[in-house]
Amino acid sequence: MAQFGTDRRRFLVGGAAVGAGALLAGCTSNERPGGDTAGNRAPGGDNAKPGKEVVIGFSAPAADHGWIGAITKNAQDQAKQHEDVTLEVTEGTNDVQQQISAVKTLIDKKVDALVILPFDGKALTEVAKQAMAAGIPVVNLDRIFASPLAYRTWIGGDNYGMGVSAGNFIAERMKEAGKSKPVIVEVAGLDNLELTQQRSDGFKAALKSHGLTIAARQAADFTAATGQKVAAQLLQAESTIDALWNHDDDQGIGVEAAIKQASREDEFLMVGGAGSKRVMDQIKADNGVVKATVLYSPSMSSSALSLARLVAQSRGMNDLVEQEIPTSITTYSAVVTKDNVDRYLPVGFE
């Protein structure tokens, strides 16, 4: 993971990142800055100003994937922006019992708030409920717990919307190319994960709204090796392809390798997923098969850290009339293309 520069940190703090960033930039305390008796409030306050000093605990899976690595790094960098925040980061693990133990350690330390990206949301639900019962607000990051009693606020990506964005982009490009019956294929992630199913459902629904269908679909497991294997199978089975959507940019390393090995780089367009810097650089250079990627940005952990700080300090969001932080925030799955890639490069992950 590359080091984040000052410009990137300002980008995340300033709210240009997808998701809740724009709202967080306008947060303020629970003191009413003005407004009428009907509950309307005029914007005001400065969320960046130091508040009560708080300790925030952070737990996430092992950084065995570029996206997960960026999740932890973003949270650490965001914490450095606030002199009133001390961040306690546990060692990342894909062992459920170890993550439960790590969260219990943070509860025992009586941290002021917790940010948890669970390896398995269902398995971590009970320990998160223990934190909430102990008066420690939990910000549930992305992989959702099995009960709303386990978290104060949830923030995460829109998996269904990710598929919708990919499907709409491909449909529009096919229309521009004059292809009424294009051959569209899909390389999904792990099929036993709900997020994969949601991405595929959104993709299928978006294509259907344009009168298009998926010709073939293969599931990998979010690794470059399996991406290459299933893409090779698809390429062998489909003599003609017009567009391919791959759910994950790290997995896409293998997908692209299979396409290159088959010498079919110039035959069709490929859309990636998540928003890696590698893919964004390729999109900007416009010298490869990938012409777009649909964001599922790890910058959401920066927003999660900011949300935890605000909750622990009893602050709300100034741009909202409500005095409290919302219970749910879903980030937007923007499509990154050559036309807008410079805007999103600061949140591209290694």
Checking if the pLDDT of 5 tops 90, the result is: no
Q: Could you tell me the two tokens for 215?
A: 């010709």
Q: Which residues contact 168 (CB under 8 A, 6 or more apart)?
A: 206, 210, 335
Query: For 85-130, how does the pLDDT look when each residue is reduced to its tens digit (9 = 90+)?
Result: 999 999 999 999 999 999 999 999 999 999 999 999 999 999 999 9
CATH class label, 159-295? alpha beta
Residue 25: the pLDDT is 39
Give the residue-averaged pLDDT of 291-309: 96
User: How many other C-beta atoms lie within 10 A of the C-beta of residue 212?
Assistant: 22
On the question of a common fold for 6-156+299-330 and 159-295, the answer reads yes
In which band, very low, low, confident or very high, does the pLDDT at 324 lie, cut at 50, 70 and 90? Answer: confident
Average pLDDT, the chain: 88
Q: Using pLDDT thresholds of 50, 70 and 90, give the confidence band for residue 319.
A: confident
- What does the domain layout of the chain look like in residue ranges? 6-156+299-330, 159-295
- Residue the block writes with tokens 């320990």: 127
pLDDT tens digit string along 237-289?
Answer: 999 999 999 999 999 999 999 999 999 999 999 999 999 999 999 999 999 99
What's at 247, amino acid-wise?
H
Per-residue confidence (pLDDT) for residue 64, from 0 to 100: 84
What superfamily would CATH give domain 6-156+299-330?
Answer: Response regulator (3.40.50.2300)
* Main-chain dihedrals φ then ψ at residue 160, nearest 5 degrees: -65, -45
Average pLDDT over residues 33-58: 67
Characterize the bridge pairing of strands 54-59 and 113-116.
Answer: parallel
With a cut of 60, say whether residue 213 has pLDDT above it: yes
Contact predicate 240/216, CB 8 Å: no
pLDDT tens string 152-178: 999 999 999 999 999 999 999 999 999
Running DSSP on this structure, what letter comes out for residue 86?
Answer: E
Give the span between the Cα atoms of 164 and 207, in whole angstroms: 8
CA nearest to 99, candidates 141, 40, 66: 141
Question: Which tokens belong to 152?
Answer: 């104060």
Question: Is pLDDT of 233 > 80?
Answer: yes
pLDDT, position 66: 87
